[in-house]
Amino acid sequence: MGKQYVIGVDGGNTKTDYFLFDIKGKLVSHLRGATCSHEKMVDSYEGTYREMKRCLDYLLNDKGIEIEDIVSGAFGLAGLDIPSQKEYLEAVINRIGLKKFVVDNDGYLGLKVGNESGRGICSINGTGTVTVGIDSKGHRLQVGGVGYLSGDDAGGAFITRLLLRDIYSILYRCGEASNLVEPVMELLGVRDKLLYIEAVTQQYSKGLNHTPFVTLVLEYAQRGDQLANHIIDRVASSLAESTVGCINNLQFEQDEVVDIILAGSVWVKPTTPILIERYKAYVKILREGRYNYSVLQVPPGIGAVLWALELAYNQEIGGTLRKQIIEEMEDIYR
């Protein structure tokens, strides 16, 4: 049949999207499977291989396509945070049979779809947080994504945890008063503070939804609540430090306009601008320069296909072809 297809994979912590496109940018097939993250598998990378191969075999066999027909592939995978993990995952993909591919943290997908050049910084602020960058020479760098040790003081999980801890401090440990106490108690479904910590632990055991707690923090910060503003300030400064640190450790020129893509639910969903405004202010304090900010409004998984085609053609994907791919993939995500 000849090599005429590309594969894009967006591997998250809960699900994985596999996309098969022809090299002209036409969608051939799509499959949504379970997570393939080695961090979620009882047998680590062997589990990743097993799940990824199962899904790719189904994706290709359904269309009568062989792995040898694939020109290139791009894999954005959650849990790829350090060089040794990258080496293991490259070995997994080699074992599947792909020869020309790129594999890296899923944060890079937002950068690839966020602007046509595929260069700049992508700040992920969703359930968790990570910052990635690609400079004009093609150097890539990830800052954060490991957790406490890498200073990941952002993301919905962190914001919620900090809020709930601060409310506990108000109730029991001499914390300063805040108007957030009552609405947080309402979200937890309790009135008696003696039941507070039990309600919190029960919520976590069921799989706590961070969104309403993050929304409270943003709304009350906008109203001037001191506790909420303290949380927002901490998160904004941490995100800015990761962004500027990523810029400083890559080869961006001082007079270069740096594209900064903001992706993830905490960046995308809020109706109040307070976090973004404070983040931008901290970026400016930490590094004088020119920045072009944009909030990613399309699914980052699109970046996997664009990246795979970029590898196939050995050039950036723009114009009509880029628009066609984005439109086709947006229909899948709706």
Q: Residue 189 has what pLDDT?
A: 96
Interaxial angle between packed helices 196-206 and 181-188, expressed in degrees from 0 to 180 and rounded to the nearest 10 = 50
Q: Residue 180 has what pLDDT?
A: 98
- The single-letter DSSP state of residue 194 is G
CA nearest to 267, candidates 111, 116, 156, 121: 156
Dihedral angle of Cα 183, 189, 190, 195, to the nearest 10 degrees: -120
The ranges of the chain annotated as CATH 3.30.420.40 are 5-106+300-333, 109-297
Q: Residue 164 has what pLDDT?
A: 99
Point out the residues of the chain with pLDDT beneath 70. 1-2, 334
pTM over 0.75: yes
CATH superfamily of domain region 109-297: ATPase, nucleotide binding domain (3.30.420.40)
Reported as a single tens digit per residue, the pLDDT across 143-189 is 999 999 999 999 999 999 999 999 999 999 999 999 999 999 999 99
Tokens of 112: 């690839």
CA nearest to 162, candidates 26, 266, 271, 88: 266
Pairing state between β 257-263 and 120-125: parallel
Sign, Cα dihedral of 96, 101, 103, 108 = negative
Contact 141, 196 (CB under 8 A): no
What kind of fold does domain 5-106+300-333 have according to CATH? Nucleotidyltransferase; domain 5 (3.30.420)
Reported as a single tens digit per residue, the pLDDT across 125-140 is 998 999 999 999 999 9
Integer Rg of the chain from CA: 21
Contact 263, 217 (CB under 8 A): no
Tokens of 7: 């594969």
Give the Cα-Cα-Cα angle 278, 80, 128 (nearest 5 degrees).
30
Q: Residue 80 has what pLDDT?
A: 92
Q: Residue 84 has what pLDDT?
A: 96
319 half-sphere exposure, CB direction, 13 A CA radius: 4
Q: Residue 2 has what pLDDT?
A: 63
Starting at the edge strand found earlier in the chain, the sheet holding 290-295 runs 140-143, 129-134, 120-125, 257-263, 290-295
